Amino acid sequence: MSKLVQPHGGGSLKPLLLPEIERREELKRAATLKKVPMTSRETSDVIMLAMGAYTPLDGFMGKADWHGVCAEMKMTSGLFWPIPITLSAAQNLADSIKEEEEVALVDAETGEIMAIMEVAEKYTIDRDFENQHVYRTTDKAHPGVQKVNSQEAVNLAGRVRCLSEGEYPEKYKGLYFRPAESRAMFAEKGWSKVAAFQTRNPMHRSHEHLAKIAVEVCDGVFIHQVLGKLKEGDIPAETRTKAIDAMIQHYFVPGTVIQAGYPIEMRYAGPREALIHALIRQNFGCSHLIVGRDHAGVGDYYGPFDAQHIFDTLWSGALETQALKIDITFYCKKCYGMATAKTCPHGKEDQVNISGTKQREMLSKGEPIPPEFSRPEVVAILQDYYRSLNK
């Protein structure tokens, strides 16, 4: 009997990727169907459905579920879900598709057929309604709002049968684990209390401190990084993985951390995204999600602790995985180490505040990174990457 948290919805994991033998036959059939091109975000959502990370969803949401998720973070079934998972199509293509017709879902960037969907519903949405509820803004400069506003005119809903996980299993071998696989790893290690650390950046000293606090109170930490498309200026996954690996090797007790990645594309939805990150980690078997300052935020759209506070607004039973809430961390020159406002009595003049944005700025300008900011083994890898850009 597993001691890990149950998959979301209380049942079993629900991966939608067909067995390999069925996939070969269905791919032949899919080639004869109408093609619906997908954006990178929609493609990443198909892969999340394929691996079971979006358990218990069986496809893309209809209008009633879309509205309920936006307005109340709740599907018509009563299931907690904080961000809509939708698929859009151009008006002329949508008009040509009949309800109950099967269509092939195609990655627009690679041309690969990713899934077959039986279209149950076609509908239009109020983009401002979604943006205001999910992103708390309709500002066109917000990257999540931009994605919603650039969607095609009509949403298609229906059950999905997945035929591919794209390049991820091969490209990120040793890093790409499905929820069933991470659960098996945790069970093998005897872990029942696992904290997930979400990151799209290489880990600096503040991130390291957060993870080490989690190691103290849990059986282990699952450093779970974004492998999907990022915004311009973010450090790519290949470099980030090397940097995180160097940090784990030199500064963590062996056997306390697992580094992995998953194919989600960031939405930069701040508090709402913290909730879906926790929901997804519940499917991966994690009892906690580390939530520090400005989780999944961008710019100044959200307060530094909004992503922590939103967990307190959930109803009983909405989500099994809990937030491990940790204060803003910094290096204190008088404490000679990492600290938070709860553990350090000294003033701001003694604090070195650390951020991924500031680190990227220093690296891009070729400025030295102080050891209070990031580990030298990590810095060396990042400096090599930035030197390659300058070349």
List, in order of start, the domains of the chain with CATH numbers.
20-166 (3.10.400.10), 174-390 (3.40.50.620)
pLDDT at 80: 98
Q: What residue ranges of the chain have pLDDT lower than 50?
A: none
pLDDT at 232: 72
Q: What are the phi and psi torsion angles at 37 (to 5°)?
A: -70, 140
Q: What are the phi and psi torsion angles at 344 (to 5°)?
A: -115, 125
Catalytic residue ranges? 200-201
CA angle 320, 326, 327 (to 5 degrees): 150
Residues 6 or more apart in contact with residue 225 via CB below 8 angstroms: 198, 199, 200, 237, 240, 241, 244, 259, 260, 261, 262
Residues 6 or more apart in contact with residue 8 via CB below 8 angstroms: 55, 56, 79, 80, 279, 282, 283, 319, 320
pLDDT at 354: 85
pLDDT at 208: 95
User: In which residue are the tokens 């209380």 written?
Assistant: 10
What pTM was computed for the model?
Answer: 0.95
pLDDT at 382: 94
How big, in percent rounded to 5, are the helix, strand and coil portions of the chain?
A: 40, 20, 40
pLDDT at 157: 98
